[in-house]
A and B are shown apart, each in its own frame.
Chain A
Amino acid sequence: MSESSMLEIFEEKIKREIKIEPREWMPDAYRKTLVRQISQHAHSEIVGMLPEANWIKRAPTMRRKVALLAKVQDEAGHGLYLYSAAETLGTSRKTMIDDLLSGKAKYSSIFNYPTITWADIGAVGWLVDGAAIMNQVMLCRTSYGPYARAMVRICKEESFHQRQGYEIMLTLAQGSQEQKAMAQDALNRWWWPSLMMFGPSDKESKHSAQSMAWKIKRKSNDELRQNFVDATVPQARLIGLSIPDPDLKWNEERGAYDFGDIDWEEFWNVVKGNGPCNKQRLDDRNKAHEEGHWVREAALAFAEKQAKRKAKKDKVA
Chain B
Amino acid sequence: MLSYTTYDPLTEYVLRCADNNLILGHRISEWCGHGPVLEQDIALTNMALDLLGQSRMYLKYAAELIGHNETEDSLAFLRDAMQFRNSLLVEQPNGDFAHTIIRSLIFDSFHYFFTEQLMQSNDKRLADIATKSLKEITYHRKFSSEWTIRLGDGTEESNKRMQTAIDDLWRYKGELLSPDELDMEMLEKGIGVDLNKIEPLVDNHLSDMLNRATLQIPQAEFMQKGGKQGLHSEHLGYILAELQFMQRAYPGLNW
Residues in A lying within 8 Å of B, measured CB to CB: 46, 49-50, 52-53, 56-62, 64-66, 69-70, 72-73, 76-77, 79-80, 83, 118, 168, 171-172, 174-176, 178-179, 284, 287-288, 291-299, 301-302, 305
Contacts and interface: CB of A to CB of B under 8 A. Distances in A.
A66 B56 contact: yes
B38 A76 contact: yes
A292 B40 CA distance: 10
Interface of B: 26, 29-30, 32-42, 45-46, 48-49, 52-53, 55-56, 59, 72-73, 76-77, 96-97, 149-151, 153-155, 157-158, 161, 242-243, 245-247, 250, 253-255
B32 A301 contact: no
A299 B255 contact: no
Nearest to A66: B52
Given A57-B29, A61-B255, A297 B36 contact: no
10 contacts: A53-B34, A57-B242, A62-B73, A64-B255, A73-B32, A73-B45, A178-B253, A288-B34, A292-B37, A297-B154
Contact of A298 (B42, B72, B157, B253): B157
A73 B33 CA distance: 8
A91 to B, nearest CB: 16
A299 B52 CA distance: 28
Contacts of B39: 80
B155 A294 contact: yes
Contacts, number: 137
A60 B254 CA distance: 9
Contacts of B26: 57
B246 A298 contact: no
B255 A73 contact: no
A69 B48 CA distance: 8
Contacts of B34: 53, 284, 287-288
B155 A49 contact: no
B253 A296 contact: no
B99 to A, nearest CB: 12
A69 B243 contact: no
A207 B144 CA distance: 46
